[in-house]
Amino acid sequence: MPACDPNAETPRPPKLLERMRIHLRTRHYSIRTEEAYIDWARRFILFHGKRHPRDMGAVEVEAFLSHLAVERHVSASTQNQAKAALLYLYKQVLEIDLPWLNEVVQAKRPKRLPVVLTPTEVRELLLHMDGTTCLIAQLLYGTGMRLLEALRLRVKDVEFARREIVVREGKGNKDRVTVLPENLMAPLQAQLQKARLLHEKDLAAGLGRVYLPHALAAKYPQADQSWAWQWVFPSPVRAVDPRPDARTGELLERRHHVYPESVQRAVRDAARRAGITKPVSPHVLRHSFATHLLQAGYDIRTVQELLGHADVSTTMIYTHVLNKGGRGILSPLDAL
Protein backbone atom coordinates (compact mmCIF):
# COMPACT_ATOMS: atom_id res chain seq x y z
CA MET A 1 0.00 0.00 0.00
CA PRO A 2 1.59 3.32 -0.99
CA ALA A 3 2.51 5.69 1.81
CA CYS A 4 0.49 8.83 2.23
CA ASP A 5 2.08 11.96 0.86
CA PRO A 6 2.81 14.22 3.86
CA ASN A 7 2.68 17.26 1.57
CA ALA A 8 -0.77 16.43 0.19
CA GLU A 9 -3.37 18.94 1.26
CA THR A 10 -6.40 17.56 3.06
CA PRO A 11 -9.64 18.95 1.69
CA ARG A 12 -10.96 21.75 3.86
CA PRO A 13 -14.55 21.50 5.06
CA PRO A 14 -16.88 24.02 3.43
CA LYS A 15 -17.28 27.35 5.14
CA LEU A 16 -20.47 28.20 6.99
CA LEU A 17 -22.30 30.03 4.21
CA GLU A 18 -21.39 27.31 1.73
CA ARG A 19 -22.70 24.70 4.18
CA MET A 20 -25.92 26.65 4.41
CA ARG A 21 -26.17 26.81 0.62
CA ILE A 22 -25.67 23.03 0.31
CA HIS A 23 -28.23 22.43 3.06
CA LEU A 24 -30.83 24.57 1.26
CA ARG A 25 -30.22 22.90 -2.09
CA THR A 26 -30.49 19.37 -0.73
CA ARG A 27 -33.92 20.35 0.63
CA HIS A 28 -35.04 21.76 -2.72
CA TYR A 29 -35.45 25.39 -1.69
CA SER A 30 -35.85 27.75 -4.63
CA ILE A 31 -32.84 29.67 -5.93
CA ARG A 32 -34.41 32.96 -4.81
CA THR A 33 -34.92 31.68 -1.25
CA GLU A 34 -31.38 30.34 -1.25
CA GLU A 35 -29.93 33.69 -2.30
CA ALA A 36 -32.07 35.61 0.21
CA TYR A 37 -31.20 33.36 3.17
CA ILE A 38 -27.49 33.41 2.36
CA ASP A 39 -27.58 37.22 2.07
CA TRP A 40 -29.30 37.64 5.46
CA ALA A 41 -26.82 35.29 7.14
CA ARG A 42 -23.96 37.30 5.63
CA ARG A 43 -25.46 40.60 6.81
CA PHE A 44 -25.95 39.19 10.31
CA ILE A 45 -22.30 38.13 10.52
CA LEU A 46 -21.04 41.50 9.25
CA PHE A 47 -23.35 43.39 11.63
CA HIS A 48 -21.65 41.68 14.58
CA GLY A 49 -18.09 42.29 13.41
CA LYS A 50 -17.64 38.98 11.54
CA ARG A 51 -18.15 36.87 14.64
CA HIS A 52 -19.07 33.26 14.00
CA PRO A 53 -22.79 32.60 14.60
CA ARG A 54 -21.88 29.64 16.80
CA ASP A 55 -20.35 32.14 19.23
CA MET A 56 -23.55 34.18 19.26
CA GLY A 57 -27.16 33.43 20.09
CA ALA A 58 -30.63 34.81 20.68
CA VAL A 59 -29.36 38.13 22.07
CA GLU A 60 -27.40 38.90 18.91
CA VAL A 61 -30.26 37.76 16.66
CA GLU A 62 -32.68 40.01 18.57
CA ALA A 63 -30.27 42.95 18.28
CA PHE A 64 -29.94 42.48 14.52
CA LEU A 65 -33.68 42.14 13.90
CA SER A 66 -34.46 45.14 16.11
CA HIS A 67 -31.82 47.15 14.19
CA LEU A 68 -33.63 46.34 10.95
CA ALA A 69 -36.95 47.62 12.32
CA VAL A 70 -35.76 50.65 14.33
CA GLU A 71 -32.84 52.02 12.32
CA ARG A 72 -33.31 50.58 8.83
CA HIS A 73 -37.11 50.94 8.89
CA VAL A 74 -37.61 47.75 6.89
CA SER A 75 -41.08 46.39 6.21
CA ALA A 76 -42.60 43.66 8.36
CA SER A 77 -42.25 41.10 5.57
CA THR A 78 -38.54 41.92 5.15
CA GLN A 79 -37.89 41.55 8.86
CA ASN A 80 -39.80 38.26 8.94
CA GLN A 81 -37.71 36.96 6.04
CA ALA A 82 -34.50 37.88 7.90
CA LYS A 83 -35.81 36.15 11.02
CA ALA A 84 -36.69 33.00 9.07
CA ALA A 85 -33.22 32.95 7.49
CA LEU A 86 -31.43 33.22 10.84
CA LEU A 87 -33.64 30.63 12.50
CA TYR A 88 -32.87 28.29 9.58
CA LEU A 89 -29.16 28.97 9.99
CA TYR A 90 -29.20 28.09 13.68
CA LYS A 91 -31.73 25.27 13.81
CA GLN A 92 -31.02 23.47 10.54
CA VAL A 93 -27.36 24.19 9.76
CA LEU A 94 -25.76 24.71 13.18
CA GLU A 95 -28.35 22.48 14.94
CA ILE A 96 -28.78 25.04 17.73
CA ASP A 97 -32.26 25.76 19.08
CA LEU A 98 -32.73 29.41 19.91
CA PRO A 99 -35.17 30.38 22.69
CA TRP A 100 -38.25 32.36 21.70
CA LEU A 101 -37.18 35.81 20.56
CA ASN A 102 -39.27 37.91 22.97
CA GLU A 103 -37.26 41.11 22.79
CA VAL A 104 -37.38 41.60 19.03
CA VAL A 105 -38.86 44.94 17.99
CA GLN A 106 -41.39 43.86 15.38
CA ALA A 107 -41.79 45.97 12.27
CA LYS A 108 -45.47 46.86 11.99
CA ARG A 109 -47.32 45.25 9.10
CA PRO A 110 -49.51 47.99 7.61
CA LYS A 111 -53.04 47.16 6.52
CA ARG A 112 -53.30 48.65 3.05
CA LEU A 113 -55.76 48.12 0.27
CA PRO A 114 -54.31 46.71 -2.97
CA VAL A 115 -53.75 49.00 -5.94
CA VAL A 116 -56.35 48.17 -8.57
CA LEU A 117 -56.56 49.49 -12.12
CA THR A 118 -59.83 50.19 -13.87
CA PRO A 119 -60.53 48.21 -17.07
CA THR A 120 -59.78 51.38 -19.04
CA GLU A 121 -56.42 51.77 -17.30
CA VAL A 122 -55.55 48.11 -17.96
CA ARG A 123 -56.39 48.60 -21.63
CA GLU A 124 -54.22 51.73 -21.85
CA LEU A 125 -51.37 49.99 -20.05
CA LEU A 126 -51.39 47.03 -22.44
CA LEU A 127 -51.65 49.31 -25.48
CA HIS A 128 -48.35 50.89 -24.44
CA MET A 129 -46.56 47.53 -24.30
CA ASP A 130 -45.36 45.18 -27.01
CA GLY A 131 -43.47 41.97 -27.58
CA THR A 132 -42.99 39.20 -25.02
CA THR A 133 -43.42 41.47 -21.98
CA CYS A 134 -46.81 42.56 -23.30
CA LEU A 135 -47.92 38.93 -23.63
CA ILE A 136 -46.74 38.22 -20.08
CA ALA A 137 -48.63 41.25 -18.76
CA GLN A 138 -51.77 40.09 -20.59
CA LEU A 139 -51.32 36.64 -19.04
CA LEU A 140 -51.05 38.12 -15.53
CA TYR A 141 -54.25 40.10 -15.98
CA GLY A 142 -56.06 37.30 -17.80
CA THR A 143 -55.21 34.49 -15.36
CA GLY A 144 -54.40 36.12 -12.00
CA MET A 145 -51.00 34.44 -11.84
CA ARG A 146 -48.10 35.92 -9.93
CA LEU A 147 -45.18 37.12 -12.02
CA LEU A 148 -42.85 34.22 -11.20
CA GLU A 149 -45.65 31.71 -11.72
CA ALA A 150 -46.08 33.01 -15.26
CA LEU A 151 -42.36 33.10 -15.99
CA ARG A 152 -41.89 29.53 -14.69
CA LEU A 153 -44.67 28.21 -16.89
CA ARG A 154 -43.67 25.04 -18.78
CA VAL A 155 -44.95 23.99 -22.19
CA LYS A 156 -46.69 20.91 -20.77
CA ASP A 157 -48.79 23.02 -18.37
CA VAL A 158 -50.63 25.01 -21.05
CA GLU A 159 -53.84 23.12 -21.91
CA PHE A 160 -55.23 24.68 -25.10
CA ALA A 161 -57.94 22.06 -25.59
CA ARG A 162 -59.33 22.53 -22.08
CA ARG A 163 -58.57 26.28 -22.00
CA GLU A 164 -56.73 26.08 -18.71
CA ILE A 165 -53.27 26.62 -17.28
CA VAL A 166 -51.78 24.45 -14.54
CA VAL A 167 -49.74 26.53 -12.09
CA ARG A 168 -47.03 24.31 -10.57
CA GLU A 169 -45.47 24.94 -7.16
CA GLY A 170 -47.16 28.27 -6.55
CA LYS A 171 -46.95 30.13 -3.26
CA GLY A 172 -46.94 27.58 -0.45
CA ASN A 173 -45.66 24.94 -2.91
CA LYS A 174 -49.21 24.27 -4.09
CA ASP A 175 -50.49 23.45 -7.58
CA ARG A 176 -53.70 24.94 -8.95
CA VAL A 177 -55.60 25.42 -12.20
CA THR A 178 -56.55 28.79 -13.67
CA VAL A 179 -58.32 29.93 -16.82
CA LEU A 180 -56.65 30.34 -20.22
CA PRO A 181 -58.25 33.41 -21.86
CA GLU A 182 -59.64 32.89 -25.35
CA ASN A 183 -57.89 36.05 -26.55
CA LEU A 184 -54.49 34.60 -25.59
CA MET A 185 -54.83 31.27 -27.40
CA ALA A 186 -53.29 32.46 -30.69
CA PRO A 187 -50.60 34.71 -29.11
CA LEU A 188 -49.49 31.88 -26.80
CA GLN A 189 -49.31 29.41 -29.68
CA ALA A 190 -47.15 31.91 -31.60
CA GLN A 191 -44.95 32.31 -28.51
CA LEU A 192 -44.51 28.54 -28.27
CA GLN A 193 -43.42 28.43 -31.91
CA LYS A 194 -40.70 31.00 -31.18
CA ALA A 195 -39.67 29.11 -28.04
CA ARG A 196 -39.46 25.85 -30.01
CA LEU A 197 -37.15 27.41 -32.59
CA LEU A 198 -34.84 28.54 -29.78
CA HIS A 199 -34.94 25.08 -28.23
CA GLU A 200 -34.10 23.36 -31.53
CA LYS A 201 -31.24 25.81 -32.02
CA ASP A 202 -29.88 24.93 -28.57
CA LEU A 203 -30.22 21.20 -29.24
CA ALA A 204 -28.26 21.59 -32.47
CA ALA A 205 -25.50 23.28 -30.45
CA GLY A 206 -25.38 20.35 -28.00
CA LEU A 207 -27.29 22.24 -25.32
CA GLY A 208 -31.02 22.59 -24.65
CA ARG A 209 -31.09 21.16 -21.12
CA VAL A 210 -33.56 23.05 -18.94
CA TYR A 211 -33.47 23.09 -15.15
CA LEU A 212 -35.77 20.47 -13.59
CA PRO A 213 -36.89 20.62 -9.95
CA HIS A 214 -36.32 17.98 -7.27
CA ALA A 215 -33.61 16.02 -9.12
CA LEU A 216 -36.05 14.94 -11.85
CA ALA A 217 -33.12 15.20 -14.28
CA ALA A 218 -31.45 12.30 -12.47
CA LYS A 219 -34.63 10.22 -12.43
CA TYR A 220 -35.52 10.93 -16.08
CA PRO A 221 -32.19 11.49 -17.89
CA GLN A 222 -33.67 12.86 -21.13
CA ALA A 223 -36.55 14.87 -19.67
CA ASP A 224 -34.56 18.11 -19.39
CA GLN A 225 -34.08 18.12 -23.18
CA SER A 226 -37.68 17.30 -24.01
CA TRP A 227 -39.93 19.99 -25.47
CA ALA A 228 -42.64 19.47 -22.84
CA TRP A 229 -40.41 20.70 -19.99
CA GLN A 230 -39.13 23.85 -21.71
CA TRP A 231 -40.07 27.35 -20.55
CA VAL A 232 -42.95 29.05 -22.34
CA PHE A 233 -41.01 32.32 -22.01
CA PRO A 234 -37.31 31.43 -22.48
CA SER A 235 -34.63 34.07 -22.10
CA PRO A 236 -33.14 35.37 -25.36
CA VAL A 237 -29.66 34.63 -23.96
CA ARG A 238 -28.06 31.59 -22.33
CA ALA A 239 -26.24 31.64 -18.99
CA VAL A 240 -24.39 29.25 -16.67
CA ASP A 241 -26.78 27.84 -14.08
CA PRO A 242 -25.38 28.32 -10.52
CA ARG A 243 -27.01 25.05 -9.47
CA PRO A 244 -24.95 21.98 -10.44
CA ASP A 245 -26.45 19.31 -12.66
CA ALA A 246 -28.23 16.58 -10.66
CA ARG A 247 -26.41 13.80 -12.54
CA THR A 248 -22.88 15.05 -13.14
CA GLY A 249 -22.49 17.84 -10.61
CA GLU A 250 -21.25 20.15 -13.37
CA LEU A 251 -22.37 23.73 -13.96
CA LEU A 252 -24.26 23.71 -17.26
CA GLU A 253 -25.03 26.45 -19.70
CA ARG A 254 -28.80 26.71 -19.88
CA ARG A 255 -31.48 28.98 -21.25
CA HIS A 256 -33.34 30.37 -18.25
CA HIS A 257 -36.77 32.01 -18.43
CA VAL A 258 -37.27 35.75 -18.94
CA TYR A 259 -35.96 37.77 -16.01
CA PRO A 260 -38.62 39.27 -13.69
CA GLU A 261 -36.85 42.63 -13.77
CA SER A 262 -37.45 42.88 -17.53
CA VAL A 263 -41.22 42.59 -17.06
CA GLN A 264 -41.26 44.91 -14.05
CA ARG A 265 -39.40 47.59 -15.96
CA ALA A 266 -41.63 47.21 -19.04
CA VAL A 267 -44.83 47.52 -16.96
CA ARG A 268 -43.48 50.54 -15.08
CA ASP A 269 -42.45 52.31 -18.29
CA ALA A 270 -45.78 51.53 -19.97
CA ALA A 271 -47.72 52.97 -17.00
CA ARG A 272 -45.69 56.17 -17.24
CA ARG A 273 -46.32 56.49 -20.98
CA ALA A 274 -50.02 55.77 -20.48
CA GLY A 275 -50.26 58.56 -17.91
CA ILE A 276 -51.40 56.27 -15.08
CA THR A 277 -50.67 58.01 -11.78
CA LYS A 278 -51.16 54.93 -9.59
CA PRO A 279 -48.08 52.92 -8.59
CA VAL A 280 -48.16 50.08 -11.13
CA SER A 281 -46.26 46.79 -10.97
CA PRO A 282 -46.95 43.37 -12.50
CA HIS A 283 -48.64 42.29 -9.25
CA VAL A 284 -51.21 45.08 -9.69
CA LEU A 285 -52.52 43.13 -12.69
CA ARG A 286 -53.24 40.16 -10.39
CA HIS A 287 -55.13 42.48 -8.03
CA SER A 288 -57.08 43.88 -10.97
CA PHE A 289 -57.94 40.35 -12.21
CA ALA A 290 -59.50 39.43 -8.86
CA THR A 291 -61.33 42.73 -8.45
CA HIS A 292 -62.81 42.73 -11.94
CA LEU A 293 -64.02 39.14 -11.55
CA LEU A 294 -65.84 40.06 -8.34
CA GLN A 295 -67.32 43.12 -10.02
CA ALA A 296 -68.57 40.85 -12.82
CA GLY A 297 -70.50 38.82 -10.23
CA TYR A 298 -68.27 35.73 -9.86
CA ASP A 299 -68.38 33.86 -6.56
CA ILE A 300 -65.63 34.75 -4.12
CA ARG A 301 -64.79 31.04 -3.61
CA THR A 302 -64.15 30.69 -7.33
CA VAL A 303 -61.84 33.71 -7.28
CA GLN A 304 -60.09 32.25 -4.22
CA GLU A 305 -59.33 29.02 -6.10
CA LEU A 306 -58.10 30.86 -9.19
CA LEU A 307 -55.74 32.99 -7.08
CA GLY A 308 -54.53 30.07 -4.96
CA HIS A 309 -55.36 31.67 -1.60
CA ALA A 310 -55.35 29.27 1.34
CA ASP A 311 -57.99 31.29 3.20
CA VAL A 312 -60.97 33.13 1.75
CA SER A 313 -60.28 36.02 4.14
CA THR A 314 -57.26 36.87 1.98
CA THR A 315 -59.49 37.10 -1.08
CA MET A 316 -62.05 39.24 0.75
CA ILE A 317 -59.69 42.23 0.65
CA TYR A 318 -60.80 42.73 -2.96
CA THR A 319 -64.44 43.20 -1.96
CA HIS A 320 -63.74 46.82 -0.92
CA VAL A 321 -64.25 47.89 -4.52
CA LEU A 322 -67.77 46.45 -4.68
CA ASN A 323 -68.99 49.41 -2.62
CA LYS A 324 -69.49 52.56 -4.63
CA GLY A 325 -67.88 55.56 -2.98
CA GLY A 326 -66.90 55.44 0.68
CA ARG A 327 -68.52 52.14 1.72
CA GLY A 328 -71.48 52.78 -0.55
CA ILE A 329 -73.04 55.61 1.47
CA LEU A 330 -74.52 58.82 0.13
CA SER A 331 -72.56 61.82 1.36
CA PRO A 332 -74.70 64.45 3.15
CA LEU A 333 -73.13 67.05 0.87
CA ASP A 334 -74.70 65.29 -2.14
CA ALA A 335 -78.11 65.40 -0.42
CA LEU A 336 -78.15 69.20 -0.19
Supply the residues annotated as catalytic.
146, 171, 283, 286, 309, 318
- Using alpha carbons, list the distances in angstroms from residue 198 to 227, 229, 253, 281: 11, 14, 14, 29
CB 88 within 8 A of CB 37: yes
**C-alpha span between 219 and 262 (Å, rounded):** 33
Beta strands in the chain (DSSP E): 158-159, 164-167, 176-179, 239-240, 253-254
**C-alpha span between 208 and 227 (Å, rounded):** 9
Give me the sheet containing 164-167, strands edge to edge.
158-159, 164-167, 176-179
Supply the Cα-derived Rg of the chain in whole angstroms: 24
- Using alpha carbons, list the distances in angstroms from residue 92 to 85, 255, 314: 10, 32, 31
**C-alpha span between 26 and 170 (Å, rounded):** 20
What residue type is assigned to position 22 of the chain? I
**Phi, psi (degrees; rounded to nearest 5) at 154:** -100, 155
Helix (H, G, I), strand (E, B) or coil at 77: helix
H/E stretch holding 26 reads helix 16-26
The terminus-to-terminus CA distance of the chain in angstroms comes to 104
